[in-house]
Structure 1
Amino acid sequence: MFTIFDDELDALARRSVAQQQEFHAGSWDGERLSAHQFENLRESLRYVRKRSPFYAGRLAGLTDAEIEGLDAAEFARTVPFTTKQDLRDQRYDMLSRPVSESWVFYETTGTTGPATPCPRDNTDSIINNAALTVAYRDIFEQHGDHHVVAVLGPTELHSTGDTFGDVCRNLGHAVVKMWPHSPVVGFERALHMLRELRVTAVFCTPGMAMSLAKEARKAGLDPAADFDLRLLMFVGELVTPKLLENLGGIWNARAYSCMYASQESSIVGTAHADGRLRTVPLNVYYEVIDPGTGELVAPDARRVRTGELVITHLYQGAKPLVRYRTGDLVRLEPAGDDGSPAQVLTPLGRVRDRIDLNGRTVTAYELEDLVLSRAPGCRDYHITIDREADVDVLAVDLDMPDTAAARDAHASLVAAAADAWGCPLTVRHTELGAITTTGAMVSWKAARVRDLRTASDPEHEAALAIARRRDAR
């Protein structure tokens, strides 16, 4: 209710909600959306050039007349990229408002490099949370009324608790925030709270859902039968459809990849009631580029673009980013004819997480999908890559019952890896340690893949350090 104390913020909140509701209902046509995007894109350029020390220098050669005349092609040709390294090097000089004009301060995890500041002002939170609230309303309504929602994520220096707490409050649902890895909470208490409060929905990472299921079974509980979960909202890691299906089956709940976002970029995609991630084009301008050349990717015959995602914020908050290279591979598909006007957005993993297997470039999405689509009921997995006799080979560790049906499925997995990448593959059944829970803190690859063909990298070492601390508890 803070907006009631500020007329301008109150008007912004009402306008943002109305626009998101109209767009979500299909009331915007392409011409109106394009006009909205380029009007606000130009405003963002003028805003950051005036307020951000970094962009004042980076965009110094861009005149007011050039900004006013920008179209998509000219924008891509004349405006340079912003990179993750820029964020690390420039830090507070990236900001368009001082921290004192923000309402909250966050930063990146800093597990593999210097943490970068990500403050939010009221504009940032209003614009982003309005989009999430409108999209999530349909999802929650499919699963009942008056949910008790657990947000299982850190709140200090991280936006997870504040964002989902605010959105659930907007929707009229009760919220409990807890972090099972905290020594104050712990998994035993978290599981107790989930049962005692009869929690019906959870926001967490896929790794957290796996860890909770493991701890529940250790305590003699059945995740599917002894809890009241109806809704799993996953964030923070790569999520393939098969992983959603497996984790949903473990907990007897519907699982969604609830958003695509980062501390730096805020909300870039949000789940819809159909289970798919979609863009938020009132807030973000999207480009897809070839990660090698930096050139815009042309749509294919189905009007699908696949490549590295580049975003520009269309709202003017504490830290708008212009042509920010996310480092993530995505697939952007047309909206389709199912009623939603937003494009379908499928994250495929980080550009740097691509893996060469016998001369074939494999994305994180492809690797996980091949494994889990042939491991029904898999509770966790880890992949080791090695090279033997000049051939790349795979070993897949699966946490799943070693049944006759599972062994039959393994034959399919072995055949699929050989057919797709020419890789001999072995399957092992084991209970995995905490390394697979570190994806949100470090990266999918550091958590899920050990590549023995290369020297250990800083991300893998960071993941191992986190895992050792968690295993020791």
Structure 2
Amino acid sequence: MFTVFNEELAKEAREIRDRHQAFAAGRWTDAELADHQLREFRRTVAYVKANSPFYARHLAAVDPDSVTAATPGQLASVPFTTKDDLRREFENVLSLPLSKAWIFYETTGTTGRSTPCPRNNTDSLHNNTALTVYYDTIFRQFGDEQVIGVSGPTELHAFGDTFGDVCRNLGHAVAKMWPHSPMVGYDRALETLRVLPATGLFSTPGMALSLAKKAYAAGLHPRRDFRLDVLMCTGELASPSLLDNIGEVWGAKVYNALYASQEASVMGAAGADGTLYTAPLLNLYEVIDPDTGLAVEPGPDGVRTGELVVTSLYQGSKPLVRYRTGDLVRFGPAAGDRTLPAPTLEVLGRTRDTLLIGGNRISGYDLEELLLTHPRGYLDYQIVIDAVDGRDELTLHFETPPDGEGVRIDEKAVAGAVRERLDVPVRFEYGPLGGVTTTGAMVSWKAARVEDRRPAAPDAERAAALAVAGGRAQ
């Protein structure tokens, strides 16, 4: 309701809402979208040059008016922004002083220096409006009497504020609960979900499984003692098979709800059909070869695979220009028969998390999908990679419910798929897994899910994940 006290913001909010609703309804032409993206790209470049000390230097040789088309050839004249730039330049990247923000967030700092990520009202209006319009296609499937749990951090992180605001926009009640907080804990979070009862939950995939484990430990059954209809998972790499498993465990529909970062804000969000869509009114997207920095050409199916690069198409506290996300994606073309008329994303994991197994290179997303296509009903999993007599070998470790109900793990089918794709053997182990598997959002998917015993040097990220797991409230 802050817009009630600022007529200019109220007008801006209505204009942003109308644009996003018209786009989602398919009322934008390709030419209108291209004009919008070029115009806002040029505005962002001019804005950051005028307001950010870093960009004043970094883009000194760039004339925004010289960019007459958002094509790879023309965009190549604008330098990339990297994560190292953000860590080194810190507050110099900001285009507005902190006093002009409405809230301050920062990155976790588990794998490098924390960097400031303030939001002003313009930032929140643009991002939260896009999410509201996209998520309306999902939540309307479940009726009007909804109570949504938001199980994510609130201190210095946008998770709780963003999803709380979006659910409020959609007319749904919200209960914020972060089980790792000493003020909440798992027992209280589960009791809140059960008693309300909550019909939906925003959480990481790891948290959704952790809550199920804690429910069993408390003598409760996730499907029978809770009323969850929908889980909105975000914050970690999640393959379709992992999401399907979470849905079976809870008896709910599960979405890969959001692709975002503290630095770049919203880059993708789910629609009702389960597809992860780009937000082309918020960002200009590029896909590059992570080694050469050159634009990737689409394949015969129109899909481009490479590192995602984004430019903010709104001018708030910290717009970024040609920001290299470090994430490997499959970027698909828009299609008229889908829930939303936007290009699509599959987020395959960080470029540096690609693994070499049995001489075959595979992304984290594809490895998880390969291993988890057949198993269902498990509460947690971890991958161990060993070199035995000079040959790679996988161990897939599952934690399953104490009663074994609903568990289906076809070891033969998994082993056959792994042999065909990676030409390595796979063993299976069963038993409890530690808290490190819950740290994907704080550190990385690889650090949380993969124990690679092959390297001689210690894995700094794995050590960071173990430290985070050890310091959390249980």
Q: Do they fold alike, i.e. is TM over 0.5?
A: yes
Q: CA deviation at 1:400?
A: 2.7
- Which residue number in structure 2 is paired with residue 357 of structure 1? 357
Q: CA deviation at 1:405?
A: 10
Q: TM (normalized to structure 1)?
A: 0.97
- 1:249-398 equivalence runs, <5 A: 249-339=248-338, 340-398=340-398
- Which residue number in structure 2 is paired with residue 242 of structure 1? 241
Percent identical residues = 53
1:394 alignment partner AA? L
- Which residue number in structure 1 is paired with residue 60 of structure 2? 60
CA distance in 1, matches of 2:303, 2:70: 21
Change (3 A) 1:303 1:231: same
- Deviant stretches of 4+, over 3 Å: 401-408
Q: Is the 8 A contact 2:237 2:445 kept in 1?
A: yes
Q: CA deviation at 1:146?
A: 2.6
- Which residue number in structure 2 is paired with residue 428 of structure 1? 429
What per-residue deviation string (whole Å, max 9, x for no partner) do you get for residues 303-333 of structure 1? 1111110000000000000000000011111
CA distance in 2, matches of 1:31, 1:146: 40
1:387 alignment partner AA? A
CA distance in 1, matches of 2:359, 2:99: 51
Q: 2:459 aligns with which of 444, 457, 460?
A: 457
Q: Is the 8 A contact 1:152 1:179 kept in 2?
A: yes
2:418 alignment partner AA? A
- Which residue number in structure 2 is paired with residue 3 of structure 1? 3
- Which residue number in structure 2 is paired with residue 215 of structure 1? 214
- Which residue number in structure 2 is paired with residue 26 of structure 1? 26
Q: CA deviation at 1:371?
A: 1.1
- Which residue number in structure 1 is paired with residue 445 of structure 2? 444
CA distance in 2, matches of 1:377, 1:226: 17
CA distance in 1, matches of 2:217, 2:405: 24
Q: CA deviation at 1:11?
A: 1.3
Q: CA deviation at 1:73?
A: 2.8
Pick which of 372-381 and 77-86 moved more: 372-381
Q: TM (normalized to structure 2)?
A: 0.97
What per-residue deviation string (whole Å, max 9, x for no partner) do you get for residues 22-78 of structure 1? 0000001111100000000000010001111111001111135424x3441343320
CA distance in 2, matches of 1:408, 1:312: 43
Q: Is the 8 A contact 1:146 1:172 kept in 2?
A: no
> Secondary structure of the equivalent of 1:78?
coil
RMSD of aligned Cα (Å): 1.6
Q: CA deviation at 1:244?
A: 1.0
> Secondary structure of the equivalent of 2:142?
coil
- Structure 1 position 46 matched with structure 2 position 46: yes
- Structure 1 position 418 matched with structure 2 position 419: yes
2:471 alignment partner AA? R
Q: CA deviation at 1:183?
A: 1.2
> Secondary structure of the equivalent of 1:23?
helix
> Secondary structure of the equivalent of 2:305?
strand
CA distance in 2, matches of 1:64, 1:323: 13
Q: Is the 8 A contact 2:42 2:65 kept in 1?
A: no
CA distance in 2, matches of 1:139, 1:442: 29
CA distance in 1, matches of 2:190, 2:406: 31
Q: Is the 8 A contact 2:377 2:405 kept in 1?
A: no
CA distance in 1, matches of 2:179, 2:110: 19
- Which residue number in structure 1 is paired with residue 13 of structure 2? 13
Pick which of 211-220 and 74-83 moved more: 74-83
CA distance in 2, matches of 1:272, 1:161: 20
Q: CA deviation at 1:187?
A: 0.5
CA distance in 2, matches of 1:50, 1:216: 53
CA distance in 1, matches of 2:449, 2:346: 19
CA distance in 1, matches of 2:145, 2:405: 42
CA distance in 2, matches of 1:273, 1:187: 30
Change (3 A) 1:404 1:268: closer
Q: Is the 8 A contact 1:287 1:310 kept in 2?
A: yes
> Secondary structure of the equivalent of 1:294?
coil
1:42 alignment partner AA? R
CA distance in 1, matches of 2:274, 2:327: 21
Q: CA deviation at 1:275?
A: 0.9
- Which residue number in structure 2 is paired with residue 153 of structure 1? 152
CA distance in 2, matches of 1:13, 1:267: 17
> Secondary structure of the equivalent of 1:232?
strand
In structure 2, stretches of 5+ residues that fail to align are none
Q: CA deviation at 1:407?
A: 8.0
Q: CA deviation at 1:111?
A: 1.0
Q: Is the 8 A contact 1:358 1:391 kept in 2?
A: yes
CA distance in 2, matches of 1:210, 1:451: 23
CA distance in 2, matches of 1:229, 1:276: 21
CA distance in 1, matches of 2:3, 2:52: 26
- 1:186-225 equivalence runs, <5 A: 186-225=185-224
Pick which of 259-268 and 333-342 moved more: 333-342
CA distance in 2, matches of 1:223, 1:354: 34
Q: Is the 8 A contact 1:372 1:378 kept in 2?
A: no
> Secondary structure of the equivalent of 1:82?
coil
CA distance in 1, matches of 2:266, 2:404: 41
> Secondary structure of the equivalent of 2:244?
helix
- 1:68-107 equivalence runs, <5 A: 69-107=68-106
Q: Is the 8 A contact 2:96 2:316 kept in 1?
A: yes
In structure 1, stretches of 5+ residues that fail to align are none
CA distance in 2, matches of 1:232, 1:309: 26
CA distance in 2, matches of 1:55, 1:180: 39
1:453 alignment partner AA? R
Q: Figure out how many residues of one structure are paired with residues of the other and give that number.
A: 471
1:268 alignment partner AA? M
Q: CA deviation at 1:408?
A: 6.7
What per-residue deviation string (whole Å, max 9, x for no partner) do you get for residues 375-410 of structure 1? 122221101111112211111101236979978710
2:431 alignment partner AA? T
Q: Is the 8 A contact 2:210 2:379 kept in 1?
A: no
CA distance in 1, matches of 2:225, 2:409: 30
Q: CA deviation at 1:149?
A: 0.9
Pick which of 5-14 and 41-50 moved more: 5-14
Change (3 A) 1:111 1:56: same
